[in-house]
Chain A
Amino acid sequence: MVSRFITRKGIAGLSLVISGLLAISACAGGGSQGAGGNGDGKFSGLTLTATTDVINTLNSLSTGDCQAQNTSAPLTLDAAPQDQYDQRLQLLLSQNGLPSTFLSPGTPDLGRKFIDADALVNVSQVLNDAGLKDAVLPAASSLVQQYYGSNDLYALPVQLNIEGIWYNKQIFAQHGIAVPTTWDQFLAAVDKFQAAGVQPIAQNGANPGWGITRWLGAYIFRALGPDAMRKVADGNAKLTDPQYVAAADQIAKLGAEGVFGKAVASADYNQTVNTFLTGRAAMMYMGSWITENIEDPKQNKVGAANIGFMRFPAVTGGAGAIDQMPANAGQPLMFAKSAFGDTSREWLKCIAQNYGDTAFEKSGLLTGMQMREKHDLSPLQRVVVDQVEGSPSTVLWFEALFSSQATTISTQNAGQLANGSMSGTDFMASVQAALGK
């Protein structure tokens, strides 16, 4: 009798419940429409939990140089962890509820989709209208343009990092090795270190092993030219083409020789930094964000004066040059069109004018924004600034123009490339397959 009841009336009841729930959820979707408002007396922001520098700088601006803007539209900041960030942004965009300002999605590829969806404010237009064209450093501006494949700026580069090889001056001196400027000199130096029992390079190969693919990317830019990865992104070249595979083979060869250490595939970021800063490896590829760790005597046991920076060596006969600096603008700051009104415009202008100085004063960070005042730089910061100024152009990194799927495969397989258990051919084939999806 019970089962008969379930079959007849139960199904009717069930469908009633389901339709009710669907109706409720449909209302919920509609209710969140336009949550961002349109310059409605509130300036909301979303950042990453880890980017405390951005949070601190924006908060400092709200009580400092941008106090007037904050009075008419108070700043409310929210933060999300990196692994949920892209998903949250996409959800907010689909509900037309993006905050007034937010750090860009984790991959430039997703950022381009935001631009295609007409969700973002054209920052360069606003800056031009306000006569603030020079607020963004040219190097940083070019990076953001490369990110999104557009001549217009759709984000403010509130972070700027140059990348290259940090080396232990003491170890280099002990073994009588000069800073290599070509790949051949570099390989000779590596051989010398290995013969002496010194681990040549400390690098993070544990998933996500982006530290390893940085070597691959930098080598590709030196050997095949600054547009080598753009060609792949546009479909004009394939990673399985012989010249790209040859680059991966270079890294695989280093890996097979044990140049990255005996446990590179399980070495994470912190472990890598620790190995290098305790003098147990001669070199490490890293961005200029590492200056903070280098200047911290608790972490750096070899002393800040003993750490040097060298550009990624040139490949003889390659289409790239040593002064094309690998760099990144982190996740730049975007502004949502749906929440853009007069007060947001004022905020954007104020951030553009004052972010550089405030970030330096509060966090000691060099950003992609022009500084209006003169500041005292530490020796390492001086190195970074000199490198930025001495580099006529910048290049991105291996995965910069990849989809998140190809990025995942690349960083997941990097460890195997770096310990010699995956050939350059196999590595490139796996990433190319993910790119083709």
Chain B
Amino acid sequence: MAISVFSNRRATALLVMPALAIYTAVMLVPIVWSAIYSFMDGGLIGGFTFTGFDNYTQFFTDPQARSALRFTAIYAVAMTIGQVALGYLLSLLYLFHLRRSSTIVRTLVFFPVVLPTVAVALLFQRVFGLAPVEGPVNALIQTLGGTGIDWLGGTASAVGVLFVMDLWRSMGFYAVLLYAGLMDIPEEMIEAARLDGATGSKLVRHVVLPMLLPVLVSALVFSINGTMKVFDSIIALTGGGPAGSTTPLTLYMFQTAFGFGEYGYGSTIAMVLTLLSLIVTWFILRSTRRHLTAS
């Protein structure tokens, strides 16, 4: 019987230490530091003073924070559903409809994933533009007899454009991820189900979906955590506007800490976001684990 290296504590410690030291330095120390700052007020110039839970109280009474929290929640839920659902439909399309010829479609759908966010945002600004040059969307609306819309100038329409852009940008990734999961389902199992009379939606619901569940859960966890921490696409497309309608917690945290110099309150927002991410991930993992055991 082979002796595991883990039976030697000293060797384990030696092997783990360098990685642990780096992890501690780049992950744990900043988190602990941030947690400490969240109980303080002040800035770099005047110094910091301990204020207890004041920042947390402020967070829950601050209308801007509430609006950022609401936007983050709506964005995260809607985008996660959108990304994973579209990715799932695409992956089914690849496997059952396009089959071997799916390579070119997969490449095309995946392409926006590798494009720089800023380039995609500029593209969408042009596509949805109204003045000085009408973008294709407004040109189409006007051809159909409507009047052009200042998409990025309206609060609701800007959110809409952001959703469309981020879905377009990310669905290829989830499609490939879920496609890999689908490929892992043994061909014989699907054949057997088909022989038993399962077709179309029945096959997907009773065979494909349960077999795909572990990958689907990973996709959900990826997606919800990614969307809760969305930053770059919003900065590039709307800058958080108009009138703060697309400002998520991350951007508000960034503005507060680095724009307004309120490091304490900024850290509080960061801690709230961290806790939210932890809770949501834990919740998803827990509920699906129960589901997995049950099935």
* A interface, CB within 8 angstroms of B: 1-2, 5, 9, 13-14, 17-18, 21-22, 25, 84, 86-87, 90-91, 93-94, 110, 113-114, 117, 205-208, 261-267, 271, 274-275, 280, 403-405, 408-409, 412-413, 415-416, 419, 421-422, 430, 433-434
Q: Is A87 within 8 A of B261, CB to CB?
A: yes
> Taking the nearest CB of chain B, how far is it from the CB of A275, in angstroms?
6
**Most chain B CB inside 10 Å of its own CB: which residue of A21, A207, A275:** A207
Q: Is B260 within 8 A of A87, CB to CB?
A: no
> Taking the nearest CB of chain A, how far is it from the CB of B285, in angstroms?
19
How far does the alpha carbon of A419 sit from the alpha carbon of B158 in the complex, in Å? 14
Main secondary structure of the interface of A (DSSP, over half): helix
Q: Is A263 within 8 A of B153, CB to CB?
A: yes
> Taking the nearest CB of chain A, how far is it from the CB of B267, in angstroms?
15
Chain A residues within 8 Å of B181, by CB:
none
Q: Is A18 within 8 A of B28, CB to CB?
A: yes
For A14, the closest partner residue in chain B by CB is: B24
> Taking the nearest CB of chain A, how far is it from the CB of B239, in angstroms?
5
Chain A residues within 8 Å of B275, by CB:
none
Q: Is A412 within 8 A of B129, CB to CB?
A: no
Q: Is A263 within 8 A of B131, CB to CB?
A: yes
> Taking the nearest CB of chain A, how far is it from the CB of B83, in angstroms?
26
Provide 11 A-B residue pairs closer than 8 Å at the C-beta atoms, listed in order of the A residue. A13-B17, A14-B24, A113-B46, A207-B241, A263-B153, A264-B150, A266-B129, A266-B130, A275-B131, A405-B259, A416-B242
Q: Is A114 within 8 A of B45, CB to CB?
A: yes
Rank and list the top 7 A-B pairs by shortest CB-CB distance, nearest first: A265-B153, A207-B241, A263-B131, A94-B44, A263-B130, A90-B44, A266-B152
Chain B residues within 8 Å of A264, by CB:
150, 153
Q: Is A415 within 8 A of B242, CB to CB?
A: yes
- Asked if B244 lies at the interface with its beta carbon under 8 angstroms from chain A, I say yes
Chain B residues within 8 Å of A430, by CB:
243
Chain A residues within 8 Å of B244, by CB:
409, 412-413
> Taking the nearest CB of chain B, how far is it from the CB of A105, in angstroms?
10
Q: Could you list 15 further interchain pairs (A-B, Cβ under 8 angstroms) beyond the known A25-B29, A263-B131, A267-B131?
A: A13-B20, A17-B25, A87-B258, A94-B45, A117-B46, A206-B239, A208-B239, A265-B150, A265-B153, A266-B131, A271-B131, A412-B241, A412-B244, A413-B243, A419-B153
- Asked if B21 lies at the interface with its beta carbon under 8 angstroms from chain A, I say yes
Q: Which of B224-264 contact A (CB under 8 A)?
A: 238-244, 255, 258-261
Q: Is B45 within 8 A of A404, CB to CB?
A: no
Q: Is A17 within 8 A of B238, CB to CB?
A: no
Q: Is B242 within 8 A of A207, CB to CB?
A: yes
Chain B residues within 8 Å of A271, by CB:
131-132
If A1-B7, A14-B20, A18-B28 touch, does A113 touch B45 (CB 8 Å cutoff)? yes
Question: How many pairs, one residue from A and one from B, have CB atoms within 8 Å of each other in the complex?
Answer: 125
- Asked if B96 lies at the interface with its beta carbon under 8 angstroms from chain A, I say no
Per-residue CB contact flags for chain B residues 138-160 toward chain A (1 = under 8 Å, else 0) read: 00000000001011111100000
Contact among A9, A86, A206 with B13 in the assembled complex (CB-CB below 8 Å): A9
How far does the alpha carbon of A93 sit from the alpha carbon of B47 in the complex, in Å? 11
Chain B residues within 8 Å of A421, by CB:
154-155
> Taking the nearest CB of chain A, how far is it from the CB of B60, in angstroms?
15
Chain A residues within 8 Å of B152, by CB:
206, 265-266
Interface size counted on chain B using CB atoms at 8 A = 43
Q: Is B131 within 8 A of A415, CB to CB?
A: no
Q: Is B17 within 8 A of A207, CB to CB?
A: no
For A90, the closest partner residue in chain B by CB is: B44
How far does the alpha carbon of A110 sit from the alpha carbon of B260 in the complex, in Å? 9
> Taking the nearest CB of chain A, how far is it from the CB of B120, in angstroms?
17
Q: Is B242 within 8 A of A265, CB to CB?
A: yes
Chain B residues within 8 Å of A87, by CB:
258, 261
- Asked if B43 lies at the interface with its beta carbon under 8 angstroms from chain A, I say yes
Q: Is A205 within 8 A of B243, CB to CB?
A: no
How far does the alpha carbon of A409 sit from the alpha carbon of B239 in the complex, in Å? 12
For B29, the closest partner residue in chain A by CB is: A21
Q: Is A17 within 8 A of B131, CB to CB?
A: no
Q: Is A207 within 8 A of B261, CB to CB?
A: no
Q: Is B131 within 8 A of A416, CB to CB?
A: no
> Taking the nearest CB of chain A, how far is it from the CB of B27, in angstroms?
12
How far does the alpha carbon of A322 sit from the alpha carbon of B239 in the complex, in Å? 36
Q: Is A263 within 8 A of B150, CB to CB?
A: yes
Contact among B17, B24, B155 with A18 in the assembled complex (CB-CB below 8 Å): B24
How far does the alpha carbon of A92 sit from the alpha carbon of B17 in the complex, in Å? 34
How far does the alpha carbon of A403 sit from the alpha carbon of B239 in the complex, in Å? 19
**Most chain A CB inside 10 Å of its own CB: which residue of B20, B43, B243:** B243
How far does the alpha carbon of A87 sit from the alpha carbon of B43 in the complex, in Å? 10
Contact among A13, A94, A280 with B132 in the assembled complex (CB-CB below 8 Å): A280
- Asked if B12 lies at the interface with its beta carbon under 8 angstroms from chain A, I say yes
- Asked if B200 lies at the interface with its beta carbon under 8 angstroms from chain A, I say no
Q: Is A86 within 8 A of B261, CB to CB?
A: yes
- Asked if B63 lies at the interface with its beta carbon under 8 angstroms from chain A, I say yes
Q: Is A262 within 8 A of B261, CB to CB?
A: no
Q: Is A90 within 8 A of B153, CB to CB?
A: no
Q: Is A93 within 8 A of B242, CB to CB?
A: no
Q: Which of B21-52 contact A (CB under 8 A)?
A: 21, 24-25, 28-29, 32, 43-46
Q: Is A90 within 8 A of B242, CB to CB?
A: no
- Asked if B290 lies at the interface with its beta carbon under 8 angstroms from chain A, I say no
If A17-B21, A207-B242, A412-B241 touch, does A433 touch B63 (CB 8 Å cutoff)? yes
How far does the alpha carbon of A86 sit from the alpha carbon of B17 in the complex, in Å? 39
- Asked if B9 lies at the interface with its beta carbon under 8 angstroms from chain A, I say yes
Q: Is A117 within 8 A of B29, CB to CB?
A: no
For B258, the closest partner residue in chain A by CB is: A87
> Taking the nearest CB of chain B, how far is it from the CB of A212, in angstroms?
12
Chain A residues within 8 Å of B21, by CB:
17
If A263-B153, A280-B132 touch, does A93 touch B44 (CB 8 Å cutoff)? yes
For B62, the closest partner residue in chain A by CB is: A437
How far does the alpha carbon of A17 sit from the alpha carbon of B18 in the complex, in Å? 10
> Taking the nearest CB of chain B, how far is it from the CB of A46, in angstroms?
16
Q: Is B261 within 8 A of A5, CB to CB?
A: no
Q: Is B260 within 8 A of A13, CB to CB?
A: no
Contact among B24, B132, B242 with A275 in the assembled complex (CB-CB below 8 Å): B132
Q: Is A2 within 8 A of B43, CB to CB?
A: no
Chain A residues within 8 Å of B132, by CB:
271, 274-275, 280
